[in-house]
């Protein structure tokens, strides 16, 4: 009995010893971890934030009528260049019956007054010829007649204006002829022949006949999040990219940041505006979507490394890299960092350009499936 127990114990010892030897053999047969290295290089680093928005004219003028009516004829279309005073469209007046009736009554009243002053003038002339009244009284009667005559003529013109929108002698000043008030490009003509339009007055802004703008002066108008607005300031340079214009960047200057934000989709957004520098070779259409890269900082040809090579001390949080001193031998080197663009970070001090830096977080390539 004792012999069998002893044999079992010895057998277990042999099995355990063999397993340990096999484990050590497998462990030693594995390839040791080999770290690759990289080097610092000269880079131009741009730290920036991005705002989304659109391209709009600096000044856009809306042309509105001074009289209500129906569009009779349109002389321009979107894309046309016009000068101040050029004819845009003509309106056919649809008279208001109340206004037309009042104008007709004014004519009748003026005619009654004119006839009365004419009879008075003829009477005064007769009395003056007989020496009953002085010349002053005659001249006073003549003035009253002239005033009544002028009032009668004004009432007739008022009637014509109410009925047709113009009258004899006014020519290009007629309200029915809508003209450009500024020079520029017609951006849009939102009305067509036959559309009714409403005049611009104190109670109604009126119907827009056309929109005119100087397309040589364009701005970027966009919005930035509240988390980014504290990083930007006026006069910072912008790089504008327009989705509809490939491989082209437009320079601009940030010249407006809204003092008050607006809530949109649960986040506070601040409006910004930047004036584009004139581009003679490229025509930018108003309303195109665009992105603006706001350049916060920029350095040219500085020593930089990839951010992935930088490590941080667990206690002090100071940055450092590991420099190769031999074959798979490395030493820690503290460094001073500058600006970063998310890929490269500026190295102000700590390493030289020719030193090799350990790639400490390289990912293993996945094994190919058979």
For the chain, the straight-line distance linking the first and the last C-alpha, in angstroms and rounded, comes to 55
Side-by-side strand order, sheet with 184-188: 60-63, 210-213, 184-188, 81-82
Segment 75-96 shows an average pLDDT of 87
The pLDDT of residue 171 is above 60: no
Residue 69 CB-density burial (10 A; 0-12 exposed, 13-18 middle, 19+ buried): buried
pLDDT, tens only, 190-205: 999 989 898 888 888 8
pLDDT: is 140 or 361 the higher one? 140
* pLDDT at residue 271, rounded to an integer: 93
Highest mean pLDDT, choosing among 20-24, 182-186, 242-246 = 182-186
Residue 370 pLDDT level (bands cut at 50, 70, 90) = very low
DSSP string, 138-168: HHHHHHHHHHHHHHHHHHHHHHHHHHHS--T
pLDDT, tens only, 211-220: 999 888 899 9
- Nearest Cα neighbor of 91 from 109, 66, 116 is 66
Computed over every residue of the chain, the mean pLDDT equals: 84
* pLDDT at residue 184, rounded to an integer: 92
pLDDT, tens only, 106-134: 888 888 988 888 888 888 888 888 888 88
* pLDDT at residue 366, rounded to an integer: 47
pTM higher than 0.85: no
The pLDDT of residue 19 is above 80: no
**Quick check: 311 and 321 in contact, CB under 8 A?**
yes
**Quick check: 65 and 200 in contact, CB under 8 A?**
yes
Q: Which phi and psi (to 5°) does residue 45 adopt?
A: -110, 130
pLDDT, tens only, 29-54: 544 667 788 888 899 898 888 888 99
- For 231, the token pair is 């990083």
* pLDDT at residue 188, rounded to an integer: 92
* pLDDT at residue 204, rounded to an integer: 84
In the numeric block, the tokens 């002028």 are attached to 150
């Amino acid at each position: 009995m004792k012999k069998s127990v002893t044999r079992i114990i010895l057998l277990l010892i042999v099995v355990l010893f063999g397993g340990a030897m096999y484990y050590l053999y497998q462990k030693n047969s594995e390839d040791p971890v080999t770290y690759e290295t990289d080097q610092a290089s000269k880079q131009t680093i741009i730290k920036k934030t991005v705002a989304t928005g659109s391209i709009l004219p600096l000044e856009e003028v809306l042309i509105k009528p001074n009289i209500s009516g129906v569009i009779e004829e349109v002389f321009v279309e979107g894309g046309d260049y016009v000068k101040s005073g050029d004819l845009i469209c003509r309106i056919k007046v649809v008279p208001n019956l109340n206004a037309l009736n009042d104008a007709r009554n004014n004519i009748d009243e003026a005619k009654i007054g004119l006839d009365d002053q004419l009879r008075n003038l003829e009477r005064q002339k007769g009395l003056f010829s007989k020496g009953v009244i002085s010349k002053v009284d005659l001249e006073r009667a003549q003035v009253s007649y002239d005033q009544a005559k002028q009032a009668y003529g004004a009432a007739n013109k008022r009637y014509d204006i109410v009925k047709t929108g113009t009258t004899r002698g006014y020519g290009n000043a007629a309200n029915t002829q809508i003209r450009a008030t500024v020079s520029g490009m017609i951006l849009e003509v939102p009305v067509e022949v036959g559309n009714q339009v409403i005049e611009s007055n104190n109670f109604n802004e009126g119907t827009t006949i056309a929109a005119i703008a100087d397309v040589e002066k364009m701005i970027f108008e966009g919005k930035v999040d509240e988390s980014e607005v504290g990083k930007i300031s006026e006069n910072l340079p912008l790089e504008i990219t327009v989705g509809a214009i490939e491989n082209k960047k437009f320079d601009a200057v940030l010249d407006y940041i809204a003092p008050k934000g607006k809530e949109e989709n649960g986040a506070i957004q601040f409006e910004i505006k930047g004036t584009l520098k004139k581009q003679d070779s490229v025509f930018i259409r108003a309303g195109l979507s665009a992105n603006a890269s706001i350049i916060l900082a920029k350095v040219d040809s500085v020593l930089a490394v990839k951010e992935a090579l930088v490590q941080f001390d667990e206690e002090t949080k100071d940055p450092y890299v590991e420099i190769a001193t031999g074959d798979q031998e490395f030493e820690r080197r503290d460094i001073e960092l500058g600006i970063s663009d998310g890929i490269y970070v500026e190295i102000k001090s700590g390493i030289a350009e020719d030193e090799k830096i350990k790639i400490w977080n390289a990912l293993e390539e996945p094994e190919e499936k058979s």
